Amino acid sequence: MMGFGQRLASAMDEFGPLCVGIDPSPEMLAHWGLPDTAEGVLTFGLAVAEACEQSAAVVKPQMAFFERHGARGVAALEQVLAAARHYNLMTIMDVKRGDIESSMAGYAEAYLKPGAPLEVDAMTVSPFLGFGSLEPAFAIAAQNGKGVFVLCLTSNPDGPTVQHARNAEGVAVATSIAAAVGARNLGAIPMGDVGLVIGATVGDAVRTLELPLSTVNGPILSPGVGAQGAGPEQLTQVFGGQARNVLAHQSRAVLQSGPFVEKLKGAIQAAAGAAQFALRGE
């Protein structure tokens, strides 16, 4: 069974290091001329998946925008994920789950168990109940060749109040998270199955907090590119020589090119090319 890290590295090499968000927010639905309903969400998601075929390495549905429509919204998400599989797209579920052992196992089975209605290739998780609380997700992911992305340095304004805090030894929370992920990925080739989420707009925090990115040996999902203001200069500042494993995430910057699939595909291809140049110099 090929691991998530290996499959992701191959997809990034083939299509460029771009992850496209499937974020049917009320504002984006209105921009596309779609109703703010489960049907509108489904139409939106299917169009994004189609536009990403052979254009992006990964798509990342934001669970919140589907959940807000209840059972019909979740059913729409199931159809969008089926379409993503049809188009051979890798999928990351943006759910940011984090809980006690039994609940964490339930969340992991919902998204990482083969055959589950909401099965994806990877999910995002929150370590702020303690890194050990994520063990069920790591175990289920490893059993099934799936991936897990751990929140580390997020771009929201209040993130530093927790992530920059230091323990008695003077080590920042974010630094300890990065080190723990690196320990899980030790020896993996070309990279491990456990990744980090680090915003492209965190400035020099990676350097000042002394995050051990050189030993993480896993993918780094980086939101904040495009509409949130991060470009090549910011990506270089944040990630430096470790940029090759970075998967740049874009949502609004490309989704605003919808609703026509061909125009959207063009925007995605342009964003993928820009990410390839910014992160890999190619």
Tell whether omega for the bond before 24 is within 30 degrees of 0, i.e. cis.
no
- The DSSP bridge partners found for residue 246 are 220
Query: What DSSP letter does each residue of 127-170 carry, written as one string?
Result: -TT-GGGGHHHHHHHHHHT-EEEEEEE--STTTHHHHT-B-TTS
Tell whether omega for the bond before 117 is within 30 degrees of 0, i.e. cis.
no
Query: Catalytic residue positions?
Result: 96
Write out the two tokens for 105. Answer: 């196992």
Contacts of residue 211, Cβ cutoff 8 Å, sequence gap at least 6: 152, 153, 174, 175, 178, 198, 205
* Count of residues in the chain: 282
Give yes or no for a contact between 118 and 81, defined as CB atoms under 8 angstroms apart. yes
Instruction: Give the rounded distance of the alpha carbon of 23 from its chain centre.
Output: 12
Closest CA relative to residue 270, chosen from 10, 12, 13, 16: 16
Closest CA relative to residue 118, chosen from 107, 134, 104: 107
Q: Which of 264-279 are b and which e, b meaning 16 or more Cβ less than 10 Å from the residue's Cβ?
A: bbebbbebbebbbebb
Give yes or no for a contact between 165 and 159, defined as CB atoms under 8 angstroms apart. no
